[in-house]
Amino acid sequence: MAAVIGQIEAESVPETEAPSMTDGFHLVIDAFKLNGIDTIYGLPGIPVTDLARLAQARGMRVISFRHEQNAGNAAAIAGYLTQKPGLCLTVSAPGFLNGLTALANATTNCFPMILVSGSSEREIVDLQQGDYEEMDQLNIARPHAKAAYRVLHAEDIGIGVARAIRAAVSGRPGGVYLDLPAKLLAQTMTAEAGRRSLVRVVDAAPRQLPSPESVERAIDLLKSAKRPLILLGKGAAYARADAEIRALVERSGIPYLPMSMAKGLLPDDHPQSASAARSFVLAESDVVLLIGARLNWLLSHGKGKTWGAPKRFIQVDISPTEIDSNVAIAAPVVGDIGSCVSALLEGIGASFPRPDAAWLQAVGERKSKNLEKMAATLAKDPVPMNFHSALRVLRDVVKANPSVTVVNEGANTLDYARSIIDMYEPRKRLDCGTWGIMGIGMGFAIGAAVETGKQVIAIEGDSAFGFSGMEVETICRYRLPVCIVVFNNNGVYRGTDKNPCGGEDVAPTVFVKGARYDKLIEAFGGKGYHVSTPAELERALREAIALGEPVLINAVIDEAAGTESGRLTNLNPQSAANKK
């Protein structure tokens, strides 16, 4: 009887349900989604293939590339355009190294980006036992990133992602590396414990207010200036303080000069724009207000003949260590650009003295002279086309379509486009930036198209296009509204160089003559155009914008039209020596 009762009692006790479980794959995805990051740029492979698949299955957009460097560039420019860290996913070792170039470029340009790479197990790497794609990725990444972290335990994934996000966007933005060993992704824990381990980042990039004393010092210096100038960098564009910056420029009446990626913060045809008198205002100004611009090589380090007589600088920057990095800064204003500009705007009030009339007249006269000279050059219609006649067409098309994002790289293609194509809206011009490197074109174009959903025109030198040209397949695969214009002059700088030994090999700077880049995109289902006149180029561009799908225009340029290194010939020692 007792045995029967015991059996009945055992049958009456319900079985305890096993707790729901999660793993490292899900936790990585959930951690990013919790923080509003919903797009991955990357390339699948061991050990992150399933991570990419699962991310897509759980509602993230996964844009898969043909090369990790281009995926990284897309993630970097996505960070610049959104102020959220762009996310790049790569495999281990060589894939990680491919992405590292983009990460270093993002850090240099202050673009918020997170490079997430799978890696070999620590115990094998540390003993150098020869694992598959074995590499100490964390220590390799550290010198090239703003921060680098490794996560070894599933319960730390939430903290690792949170730290990466905060590091990428706080203060001066930059690239962050997040190392995920393969074994981490397979680790399991209860779903409830996993949910509690995730972190929603609060106020990742808090405002940093400038000191009142620094603002007062800057305003006093501006008031004392006879020939003031405002210089806007891409940091000013990233800050999204567009209205405040415009108000400061217009209320002060000071001429302004935008760096290339700051073009469009105010329309380039604004009466106070000094772009057409760049050399003049840099040399002749006496007080220069830098907003989100660094005195690096792009500005001749703030010294030398470019700058003429000694200057007094006011520098607005979020990083105190940037102050005095090249020359003495008379009035540093340290804080986030929006807060600093708002404080300056409040400080100058409505009664700020206008700049000296003679200075404004001199700037205006130099602008008019240079614009007339440029107009005469652009009016010419040489056969075959040169850079100026082709870019005249692009200038007019962009003016008629101001919401188009322009991506630009090359030597001559980049330099001439900077001065010819006007921009009318902020963050619509993306180029090779602080490092001046080639190869960003297709990555930037894809990132901009994905993040904005609007038309992108990528203006490419034929050499620059070669760095990332295979990504036309990616553009076609996702049916992105990208129109690529390849300025084809048969080589690097130009296609006329000769082998000095007269051998069978062509010169190092010469490509295949008459290459048909338009056929490349047609292989993947896109639309190709082959043009050799401005009229043909204009028709192709307008059709491409109306189509809103992948297009490549092979624009044949006079192969003798280019100059070596564009305007940077002095950086090539042998070329500079030959010119002496």
For residue 183, what are its two tokens?
């074994």
Residue linked to tokens 């414990």: 193
Domain 380-579: state its class: alpha beta
Phi, psi for residue 437 in degrees, rounded to 5: -90, 155
What DSSP line would sit under 432-448, residue for residue?
STTTT-S--HHHHHHHH
pLDDT in tens, the chain (580 residues): 444 444 544 455 455 678 899 999 999 999 999 999 999 999 999 999 999 999 999 999 999 999 999 999 999 999 999 999 999 999 999 999 999 999 999 999 999 999 999 998 888 888 898 888 889 999 999 999 999 999 999 999 999 999 999 999 999 999 999 999 999 999 999 999 999 999 999 999 999 999 999 999 999 999 999 999 999 999 999 999 999 999 999 999 999 999 999 999 999 999 999 999 999 999 999 999 999 999 999 999 999 999 998 899 999 999 999 999 999 999 999 999 999 999 999 999 888 899 999 999 999 999 999 999 999 999 999 999 999 999 999 999 999 999 999 999 999 999 999 999 999 999 999 999 999 999 999 999 999 999 999 999 999 999 999 999 999 999 999 999 999 999 999 999 999 999 999 889 999 999 999 999 999 999 999 999 999 999 999 999 999 999 999 999 999 999 999 888 756 655 666 555 444 4
Q: What is the pLDDT of residues 268-320, one digit of tens each?
A: 999 999 999 999 999 999 999 999 999 999 999 999 999 998 899 999 999 99
CA 12 – CA 533 distance, rounded (Å) = 88
pLDDT value of position 19: 86
Q: In this structure, are residues 527 and 550 in contact, taking their beta carbons and an 8 Å threshold?
A: yes
Residue whose token pair is 């047609």: 522
Instruction: For residue 477, give the nearest of 518, 521, 528, 444 by alpha carbon.
Output: 521
Distance of CA 105 to the CA centre of its chain: 8
> What is the H or E stretch that residue 395 is in?
helix 387-400
User: Two tokens at 66?
Assistant: 């043909």
Residue 302 near residue 318, CB atoms below 8 Å: no
CATH fold of 212-364: Rossmann fold (3.40.50)
Q: Which CATH superfamily is domain 22-197 in?
A: Thiamin diphosphate (ThDP)-binding fold, Pyr/PP domains (3.40.50.970)
Q: Distance between CA 296 and CA 220 in Å, rounded? A: 26
Token pair belonging to 379: 């009016």
Q: Which residues of the chain does CATH 3.40.50.1220 include? A: 212-364
Those residues with Cβ within 8 angstroms of residue 516's Cβ, 6 or more apart along the chain or in another chain = 530, 554
Q: Which residues of the chain are in CATH 3.40.50.970 domains?
A: 22-197, 380-579
CB contact at 8 A, 65 and 43: yes
Q: How buried is 384 (Cβ within 10 angstroms: 0-12 exposed, 13-18 middle, 19+ buried)?
A: middle
| Residue 222: per-residue pLDDT | 96
Size (the chain), residues: 580
* SS (HEC) of 212-250: HHHHHHHHHHHHHCCCEEEEECHHHHHCCCHHHHHHHHH
